[in-house]
Chain A
Amino acid sequence: MTQAEIKLCSLLLQEHFGEIVEKIGTYLVRTGGQPLRVIVSDTGTSLDQVKKALCVLIQHNLGTYQIQKRGFVEYSVQCSRVLCILRYPRYIYTAKTLYGDTGELIVEELLLNGKMPMSAVVTKVADRLTETMEDGKTMDYTEVSSTFVRLADTHFVQRCPGVPDASGPSDSAAPPAPTLVIDEKDMYSVPRLNLIGKGKRRRSCDDDDNGEHKAKKQKQDLESQEPPPDDGIYWQVNRDRFHQHFRDQAIVSAVANRMDQTSSEIVRTMLRMSEVTTSSNAAYTQPLSSNEIFRSLPAGYNIGKQVLDQYLTLLADDPLEFIGKSGDSGGGMYVVNLHKALASLATATLESIVQERFGSRCARIFRLLLRKKHLEQKQVEDFAMIPAKEAKDMLYKMLSENFVSLQEIPKTPDHAPSRTFYLYTVNVLASTRMLLHRCYKSVANLIERRQYETRENKRLLEKSQRVEAILASMQATGAEEVQLQEIEEMITAPERQQLESLKHTVNKIDASENQVDETIFLLASYVDSTVVAAAKKP
């Protein structure tokens, strides 16, 4: 955990869950797994509060617990999980584009609550949707349920590990903490629920007679305290699946930029076919035959089989090497080179950063070094066609910022500088990690600035909130137009302008946090893929 990551985690925890959770969470991120007593003593908070904070963390899938060998339980918080909080808006937006408003609200509810049973999700989402609909219309539970089932089928939501059925002998001592298990094949299976009903509106004045009857019936239901049919089966958002989706999106858009729309559609089809068959860490997708691809193309694309074959050959021969040919059966077997694609995207990100920071000539030198791996000062000047003085200046600037490094090759055993080759080179992995660190710090800076701006204008915000509350209550009791206007004028014009600019500022910073998160995603995926590749090597 770098300092920047820990700082960012603490900022996120504080913003979303409050001071106490932030203290406990940051402590656990910094020190790793700790038993309960140690947490209480080290952080100086009461046992009660620590327990509640841990509950919150575990509920939101940020923290876990583990039974150690000696019999006590250790709690830990994973930094990467906390950093995913940054990505919540992107998850929600993706769900919206794929499954509409219903999907969006389902994912939002699950993210807000961490874990929820399906019935609760469906009820809440139906209520929220009904509020936004026109008067008299309500949202049916079945529609929400079907969207939920679709989300589960495509693995975007998954079941949480649950308590195993009590089947062991009763005389064995109860373990200090239950071990949660989940069967692989049950992870995405939706229980058969007979959810009948419609969403309800909050405001009772809109209800007609029928609604009142329903409301009475509702009260009776609550009083009977029937447990919902799917008690104990909780659902959570499957982050890895969303990450896979983002990665696929990045690859498809890269292909679209480099080639044309049709080839990107072909790549999208191939990735969609491999969604559930390929694990997220794999280096290649499963080989797909050209016949299969042809059958699975979306209906709108009427390209002939030969044209498809030509496109596939072109993609396989492209210097980008996103697609590779792995055999000839079935009309040609093709795979998507996932690790290579991630590496290309990370390299492109590096190049873009160098270009924006130092200029296009520096970017030329950077790309030259990426291609040729090791070059002397003189060779750099020759290949890049940049005058010697400028080239030297640029190389030293990049060297000081650690984008390039020097490799010494001595000619004589005494390493005399006049008799040593100095070669410039780019170490992609090291540069990626350095930039990732910078991204984390940037996001932390942005959050801090946003909080500062909000604090500065706190008085004004409170005032405007009070005015809004007064307005709402007066409208409810049926006030006159003149009175309402009087209240509105309590906020003067310059104050209104200040509020506008504050809103504009906060929105801009929010948007920019999401943009930096995109960069973080690309760089972090690349770093993770190299870790996996290194682990696989014997």
Chain B
Amino acid sequence: MAEVKVKPEVPDPLDVENRIIELCHQFPHGITDQVIQNEMPHTDAQQRAMAINRLLSMGQLDLLRSNAGLLYRVKDSQNTSKMKGSDNQEKLVYQIIEDAGNKGIWSRDIRYKSNLPLTEINKILKNLESKKLIKAVKSVAASKKKVYMLYNLQPDRSVTGGAWYSDQDFESEFVEVLNQQCFKFLQSKVELSMEDIETILNTLIYDGKVEMTIIAAKEGTVGSVDGQMKLYRAVNPIIQPTGLVRTPCGLCPVFDDCHEGGEISPSNCIYMTEWLEF
């Protein structure tokens, strides 16, 4: 009997790559090295590493780190087509901006993270913007600052100021209207807990029309945060407008210049004359 030598199947490198990509498609959240090994027991570590490296450099795989180790994820095919034309530097910058999520990142920070010179960064950013991969959003914190984020992301509240800003301008009228409405609402109801309008309610507190108490609430009741609940109640001021402001002197703009016998004196005070005729 002739020995049948079973030639160890040398897996075709291309085959390995395709297989890996298939696996990635199967598990869109990412696969670990262990999974690849299980699926293709006949490949050894070196071949796997080679295949994965090739896929990464081609931009078809994403390398992520997780608690379990390294994860490989298939890249979005749309993106891959877009990035085909860019070079590594652009890819790096894109990666940094992507990591910043919906808060965006300032150009100086991009420079620190990538160690690229300023001129390069600007060129790259212009490039990416024209390709409609990223966009610049004006920050409400410092109006001269521009943060960059991915094109299709919604800017975070801290950048645009949330509900109180529209087009980067403070909506003071909106704030005033809500201020009054909340006050009226609270006047008719006794106890209420709210979350989204907490900042407006705080302004009512500073107006002295509303007071807040924190009570211990069970976890799970509506509006409770960390076992506490904030309750608001409309209150009256504790004193009536005080005596000093009922006289002209209390509100007089030239109070410090007023002496008997001077140009401005109590005897010829026009504010007093008006007030006395009232």
Binding site for B on A (CB under 8 A): 250, 253-254, 257-258, 317, 319-320, 344-345, 348-349, 351-353, 355-357, 360, 363-365, 367-368, 371, 383-388, 435, 438-439, 441-442, 445-446, 448-449, 452, 504-505, 508-509, 512, 514-519, 522
A519 touches B208 (CB 8 A): no
User: Whole-angstrom distance from the CB of B271 to the nearest CB of chain A?
Assistant: 10
Give the residue name and chain of the B residue nearest to A446 (CB): B247
Task: Provide a sorted-by-A list of 26 A–B residue pairs whose CB atoms are within 8 angstroms.
Answer: A254-B238, A257-B239, A258-B238, A319-B213, A345-B239, A348-B237, A352-B237, A353-B244, A363-B208, A364-B203, A367-B205, A367-B207, A383-B202, A385-B164, A385-B175, A385-B179, A387-B170, A435-B244, A438-B250, A442-B244, A442-B250, A449-B266, A449-B272, A505-B276, A515-B247, A516-B244
Are A357 and B203 within 8 A (Cβ)? no
In the bound assembly, the distance between CA atoms of A515 and B235 in angstroms comes to 25
Least CB distance from A390 to B in Å reads 8
User: In the complex, which residues of chain B have a beta carbon less than 8 angstroms from the beta carbon of A253?
Assistant: 239
Evaluate whether A438 and B247 lie within 8 angstroms (CB atoms) in the complex, with A254-B238, A257-B238, A319-B213 already known: no
Per-residue interface assignment for chain B, residues 255 to 270, with 1 indicating a CB less than 8 Å from any chain A CB and 0 otherwise: 1001010000111010
Chain B: minimal CB distance from A15 (Å): 15
A516-B247 contact given A319-B213, A353-B242, A367-B207, CB 8 Å threshold: yes
Given contact pairs A384-B206, A519-B244, enumerate 18 new A-B contacts (beta carbons under 8 Å).
A345-B238, A352-B241, A352-B245, A353-B242, A353-B245, A355-B241, A364-B206, A364-B207, A385-B172, A386-B172, A388-B170, A438-B244, A439-B244, A442-B250, A445-B258, A504-B276, A512-B247, A518-B242
Answer yes or no: B220 CB below 8 A from chain A CBs.
Answer: no
B172-184 vs A: 1/0 string, CB under 8 Å?
1001000100000
Interface majority SS on A: helix, strand, loop or mixed? Answer: helix
Q: Which of A348, A446, A448, A512 has the most CB of B within 10 A?
A: A512
Give the docked Cα–Cα distance between A355 and B208 (Å): 11
Residues of B within 8 A of A504 (CB): 276
Q: How far is the CA of A343 from the CA of B180 in the complex (A)?
A: 29
A357 touches B206 (CB 8 A): no
List chain A residues, Cβ under 8 A from B238. Answer: 254, 257-258, 320, 344-345, 348
Contact digits for B190-212, partner A, Cβ 8 Å, 1 yes 0 no: 00000000011011011110010
Q: How far is the CB of B237 from chain A (nearest CB, A)?
A: 7
Instruction: Give how many B residues have a beta carbon under 8 Å from the other chain's beta carbons.
Output: 39
Q: Is the CB of B245 within 8 A of A356?
A: yes
Closest to B235 in A: A258
B217 CB to closest chain A CB (Å) equals 16
Report the separation of the CA atoms of residues A345 and B265 in the bound assembly, to the nearest whole angstrom. 32
Cα distance, A387 to B172, chains bound together (Å): 7
Question: Taking the nearest CB of chain A, how far is it from the CB of B183, in angstroms?
Answer: 12
Bound complex: CA A237 to CA B95 (Å): 85
Cα A118 to Cα B123 with chains together (Å): 101
Is B251 among interface residues, defined by CB-CB distance under 8 A? yes
A320 and chain B: residue at smallest CB distance:
B238
Residue B243 CB within 8 A of the other chain: yes
Cβ contacts under 8 Å, B258 to chain A? 445
The one of B237, B250, B267 in contact with A452, judged by C-beta atoms closer than 8 angstroms, is B267
Q: For the complex, what is the distance from the CA of A504 to the CA of B170, rounded to whole Å?
A: 50
Are B243 and A516 in touch, CB under 8 angstroms?
yes
Q: Considering the complex, which residues of chain B in the window 61-82 have a beta carbon less than 8 Å from any beta carbon of chain A? A: none
Nearest CB to that of B247 among chain A residues? A512
Interface residues of B in 43-76 (CB under 8 A from A): none
Taking a contact as CB atoms closer than 8 A, the residue among A367, A387, A446, A514 that contacts B206 in the complex is: A367
With contacts A258-B235, A348-B238, A505-B276 known, is A515 near B246, CB below 8 A? yes
Q: Which residue of B lies closest to A371 (CB)?
A: B206
CB distance from B259 to the nearest CB of A (A): 10
Q: Are A357 and B251 in contact (CB under 8 A)?
A: yes
Given contacts A353-B242, A360-B207, contact A446 B237 (CB under 8 A): no
Q: How far is the CB of A294 from chain B (nearest CB, A)?
A: 26
Q: Which chain A residues lie closer than 8 Å to B199 at the CB level? A: 383, 385
Bound Cα distance A320, B236 (Å): 12
Chain B nearest CB, measured from A323 CB (Å): 14
Q: Which of A257, A364, A517 contacts B237 (CB 8 A)?
A: A257
Looking across the interface, which residue of chain B has its beta carbon closest to that of A504? Answer: B276
Instruction: Report A176 CB to chain B, min CB distance, Å.
Output: 40
In the complex, chain B residues whose CB is within 8 Å of the CB of A353: 242, 244-245, 250
Q: Does B249 contact A (CB under 8 A)?
A: yes
CA distance A300 to B238 in the complex (A): 25
Instruction: Decide: A512 and B203 in contact? CB cutoff 8 A.
Output: no
